[in-house]
Structure 1
Amino acid sequence: MIYCNYCKIYIRDKKAKCPLCGNVLPENGRIEKAEDIFPVIPLTYERHILIRILIFISIVAIVASYVVYKIVPTNVNWPGFVLFGLLSVWLSLIYALRKRYNITKSIMWQVIIVSGLVIFWDWKIGWMGWSLDYAVPFLCIAAMLVMYITAKVMKLSARDYISYFLLGGLFGIIPILFILFDLVKVNYPSYISVAASIIFLSAIIIFHGDSIKEELRKRMHI
């Protein structure tokens, strides 16, 4: 930047005259490295009531699943599935909150990668079908939940999450294919995932329709 001796200010660009006083700027004026016009402001978040609610729900879910399992014993290890699902939710949430950029994108990649891993794990141990029956549908539901909580806690703008919210909602509808192609023995987790996705997408379209249109206009030049 060039320093104006009359106005006592620094001027961006190499101007010949000061835009304020009109005096000729010295050619050997003091030049310093200019600051960024749009400085990078790190995302911040505050403690939110949703985090406390999620902690309480997690404790209730673990206790309830263990009690039900003891009262009504079944071949399905419900406490294990509940614990695994909650751990997935919390790990995804912690990872997302630690990331400053592309938070919703990282959540989507986590769902895709973990879904592939559980399917591979199920196949390696003899294919009992639990990956498609329970794991993938509940991962989709967990992803939508983590996306919503993260967006609220981090106070993200619409442009940061709208596209990935839509992708997450559409991803949650995939379990309907498991039912149509008779790939699952237990249907209700897939039905819950599809229902949650439809509700999720409906909420986005109804309450954030204007933001979606604006983002499409910017990105697609519509």
Structure 2
Amino acid sequence: MQQCRKCRINVDGDKDRCPLCQGELTGTPEPEMYPKITESRFGSDFLLKLISFIAISAAAICIGTDYIITGRITWSLICIGGIICAWLTTSVGIAYRRRILKNITWELILITSLSVIWDRFTGWRGWSVDFVLPCASICAVISIFIIAKVLKMKSGEYMLYLIIGGFYGFLPLICLIAGLTNITYPTVICTCLSVILMAALFLFRGKTTKDEFERRFHL
């Protein structure tokens, strides 16, 4: 064991200096009781910086190429919009990669919102509300349910995300009522699934659902 003569204490492990006075230690060092935990080289901060660098580089290349070919900035604006969307979705995926259910929920909201924006600024053909919104809602709810069962999560760990997914599945119905939907069968399937899900939650897991609402919203 190592000792510090100045502080007159014993120091466990293998240290270079006294943790109190930073003085030299004497004696024989002992192996660390717990292994040292090394931080991952490719952590969240590095990955976010990397995708930001790639996005900025891609945008710069698109603008430069567009200006060289056409003498002005035209189609590169569409490319930049796509790059921004890819950067946003990838950033959310990295930020919540350890919270997979929250990741799915945020990706659902982000992807459907970006789809509506793209549809709106490219002439509004309705594909965002006809297909993306209902199909993404269905996939999100099914994914949350399957992951929760495979990972054997407790009800409180996934109930909120199922509720959000269930309520989100009624947005295609609102679009249908508002006359924004041209192709109805994805909306009908999504709405039926949301009704079945919410009925199952409130009828068979009513107490758990109520407790989750009270806990999350401090009711």
- Compute the TM-score of the two structures, normalised by the length of structure 1: 0.51
Alignment of 1:198 with 2:195, yes or no, is yes
**Structure 1 range deviating more: 115-124 or 197-206:** 115-124
Structure 2 counterpart of 1:106: 103
Provide, for residues 26-70 of structure 1, a one-character-per-residue CA deviation record: whole Å limited to 9, x for no partner: xxxxxxxxxxxxxxxxxxxxxxxxxxxxxxxxxxxxxxxxxxxxx
| Cα 1:216/1:112, change in 2 over 3 Å | closer
Q: Which residue of 1 aligns with 2:176?
A: 179
Match of 2:120 in 1: 123
Q: Work out which of the residue numbers 182, 189, 211 in structure 1 matches 2:208.
A: 211
Please tell me the residue identity of whatever aligns with 1:103: I
Distance of aligned partners of 1:125 and 1:158 in 2 relative to their CA distance in 1, 3 Å threshold: same
Alignment deviations for residues 117-172 of structure 1 (CA, whole Å, 9 cap, x no partner) = 22222234322111111111111111111111111111111111111211110000
Q: Which residue of 1 aligns with 2:152?
A: 155
Displacement after TM superposition at 1:186 (Å): 1.1
What do you get for the CA RMSD once the two structures are aligned?
2.6
Q: 1:219 to 1:139 in 2, by over 3 A?
A: closer
Unmatched tracts of structure 2, length 5 or more: 1-92
Report the CA distance between 1:112 and its aligned residue. 0.7
Find the aligned partners of 1:119 and 1:219 in 2 and give their Cα distance: 29
Map 1:139-150 → 2, pairs under 5 A: 139-150=136-147
State which of 164, 185, 188 in structure 1 corresponds to 2:185.
188
Code of the aligned partner of 1:135: V
> Percent identical across equivalent pairs?
33
The alignment's TM-score, normalised by the length of structure 2, stands at: 0.52
Tell me: higher relative CO, structure 1 or 2? Use CA pairs within 8 A at least 6 residues apart: 1
Q: Identify unmatched segments of 5+ residues in structure 1.
A: 1-94
| Counterpart Cα distance in 2 of 1:221 and 1:178 | 31
Partners of 2:110 and 2:130 in 1: how far apart? 17
